[in-house]
């Protein structure tokens, strides 16, 4: 049976169409694949084995001492009348550190507020957290007036009194509690101030076209000084001294970070954040945040927006920067400078 030229032509055309469809499918698949990190001296486009540094916490052991300077130990007492209710405790006789430690309550919180007891070290002539091998002539108990959970209330104040009295009974001490209603009123005023001056900034970096893989994000962020955080999908810029909160944080989808095949995980947006009160003004955190956002956007083909997806032009960032300077000045005037121990406690 003979095959006509028409049939042969149709078969050829059909084959070409199939080839074109296959080529287009492969091209579309490659185009839509998340951008991958580059691997030096490698022929394959795969996720790199990135160097992982754990996000610095409040424990010196969590830091690489080669990368960070050793901090000068802070000798100031924990309690401060500016943000704490303080009850002085007089003693019938000096108390050993061992006895004080045995009498401390099992928890260091009153409701949602931190609770602490300090002793006046006879030898060192300073207030400190009770320690074995020391002797104390006086004690003081304190509870924080406010934090991001709100102001100290009457119920929490009553719990503070109960815990302090139990400690005093164990060491033969006599507490002198401030008047509850006055302290609760002071707590509300401080909480109002904190609420009016609590700035937590966030920039959103959105992909213009192709999505990003986790390795692609990590590689570009690492070039700007970010290290892996303690949680999946989080990177941070560490503070200049260990034990302090990070200057900046960068976060993305946790599920993408934990995907079995990270190369196929698609990320379309990142959040770059700054907790203003937690970071010392000298760190120039907002300037670095702005520079990092723009650098990532340029390198990764993204756009910087606010939470609602509205692009943030340089003029808008200038306004934010100017407002932050006023905020820093206000915190300084209240003796709650950004990044100070008191500010970190109040805005926590």
Q: Enumerate the β-bridge partners of residue 136.
A: 95, 121
Residue 34 pLDDT? 77
Residue 51 pLDDT? 44
Q: Enumerate the β-bridge partners of residue 87.
A: 141
Task: Check whether residue 123 and residue 224 sit in a common domain.
Answer: no
Task: Check whether residue 231 and residue 326 sit in a common domain.
Answer: yes
Structure tokens at 341: 């121990």
Using CA atoms, how far apart are residues 299 and 218, in angstroms rounded to an integer?
12
Q: Helix or strand or coil: residue 115?
A: strand
HSE-CB at 6 with a 13 A cutoff on CA atoms is: 0
Ramachandran region, residue 68 (left: φ > 0; alpha: ψ -120 to 50; beta: rest) = beta
Task: Check whether residue 174 and residue 278 sit in a common domain.
Answer: no
CATH number at residue 224: 3.30.1400.10
Q: Give the chain's domain count.
A: 2
Residue 57 pLDDT? 43
Using CB atoms within 10 A of its CB, is residue 129 exposed (0-12), middle (13-18) or buried (19+)? middle
Q: Helix or strand or coil: residue 59?
A: coil
Residue 323 pLDDT? 97
Q: Which of residues 195, 211, 231 is at a domain's end? A: 195
Q: Which of residues 165, 195, 225 is at a domain's end? A: 195
Task: Check whether residue 272 and residue 164 sit in a common domain.
Answer: no
Question: Whole domain around residue 112: which residue ranges?
Answer: 84-195
Please check whether residue 341 lies inside any domain of the structure: yes
Task: Check whether residue 156 and residue 204 sit in a common domain.
Answer: no
Q: Which of residues 176, 195, 214 is at a domain's end? A: 195
Task: Check whether residue 257 and residue 166 sit in a common domain.
Answer: no
Helices (H), the chain: 5-32, 97-103, 154-171, 180-196, 214-222, 254-257, 285-300, 314-333, 341-346
Please check whether residue 24 lies inside any domain of the structure: no
Structure tokens at 121: 């070290």
Residue 154 pLDDT? 98
Please check whether residue 41 lies inside any domain of the structure: no
Task: Check whether residue 208 and residue 136 sit in a common domain.
Answer: no
Please check whether residue 23 lies inside any domain of the structure: no
Task: Check whether residue 180 and residue 240 sit in a common domain.
Answer: no
DSSP codes, 253-300: -HHHHT-SSGGG--B-EEEEEEEGGGS-GGG-HHHHHHHHHHHHHHHH
The string over 50-84, giving b where at least 16 C-beta atoms fall within 10 Å of a residue's C-beta and e elsewhere, is eeebebbeeeeeebeeeebeeeeeeeebbbeeebb
Of 201, 332, 204, the closest CA to residue 275 belongs to 201
Name the pTM for this structure. 0.80
Using CA atoms, how far apart are residues 129 and 282, in angstroms rounded to an integer?
29
Residue 260 pLDDT? 87
Residues present in the chain in total: 348
Distances (CA, A) of 149 to 86, 111, 114, 298: 20, 10, 11, 38
Q: Scanning the structure block, which residue is given the tokens 């034990």? A: 243
Task: Check whether residue 233 and residue 165 sit in a common domain.
Answer: no
Q: Helix or strand or coil: residue 154?
A: helix
pLDDT average per 10 residues of sequence, the chain (348 residues): 56 55 51 68 44 43 33 61 98 97 96 97 95 97 98 98 98 98 98 98 96 95 95 95 95 91 90 98 97 97 95 96 98 98 97
Residue 339 pLDDT? 97
Please check whether residue 11 lies inside any domain of the structure: no
Using CA atoms, how far apart are residues 344 and 348, in angstroms rounded to an integer?
6
Contact (Cβ atoms closer than 8 angstroms) between residue 87 and residue 142: yes
Contact (Cβ atoms closer than 8 angstroms) between residue 221 and residue 205: no
């Amino acid at each position: 049976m003979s095959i006509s030229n028409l049939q042969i032509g149709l078969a050829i055309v059909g084959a070409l169409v199939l080839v074109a469809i296959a080529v287009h499918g492969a091209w579309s698949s490659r185009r839509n694949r998340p951008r991958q990190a580059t691997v030096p001296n490698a022929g394959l486009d795969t996720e790199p084995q990135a160097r992982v540094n754990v996000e610095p916490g409040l424990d010196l052991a969590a830091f690489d001492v080669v990368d960070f300077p050793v901090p000068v130990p802070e000798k100031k007492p924990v309690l401060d009348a500016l943000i704490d209710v303080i009850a002085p405790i007089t003693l019938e006789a000096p108390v050993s550190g061992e006895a004080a430690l045995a009498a401390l309550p099992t928890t260091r919180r009153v409701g949602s507020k931190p609770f602490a007891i300090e002793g006046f070290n006879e030898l060192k002539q300073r207030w400190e957290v009770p320690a074995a091998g020391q002797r104390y002539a006086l004690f003081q108990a304190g509870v924080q007036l406010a934090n991001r959970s709100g102001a100290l209330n009457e119920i929490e104040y009553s719990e503070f009194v109960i815990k302090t009295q139990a400690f005093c009974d164990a060491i033969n001490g006599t507490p002198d509690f401030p008047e509850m209603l006055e302290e609760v009123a002071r707590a509300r005023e401080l909480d109002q101030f904190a609420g009016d001056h609590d700035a937590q900034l966030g920039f959103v970096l959105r992909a213009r076209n192709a999505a990003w893989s986790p390795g692609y994000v990590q590689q570009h962020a690492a070039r700007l000084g970010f290290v892996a955080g303690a949680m999946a999908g989080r990177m941070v810029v560490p503070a200049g001294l260990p034990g302090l909160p990070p200057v900046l944080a960068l976060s993305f989808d946790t599920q993408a970070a934990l995907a079995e095949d990270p190369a196929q995980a698609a990320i379309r947006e990142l959040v770059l954040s700054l907790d203003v009160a937690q970071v010392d003004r000298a760190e120039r955190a907002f300037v670095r945040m702005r520079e990092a956002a723009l650098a990532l956007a340029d390198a990764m083909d993204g756009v910087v927006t606010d939470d609602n997806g509205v692009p943030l032009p340089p003029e808008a960032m200038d306004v934010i920067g100017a407002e932050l300077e006023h905020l820093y000045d206000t915190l300084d005037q209240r003796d709650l400078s950004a990044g100070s121990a008191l500010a970190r406690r109040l805005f926590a």
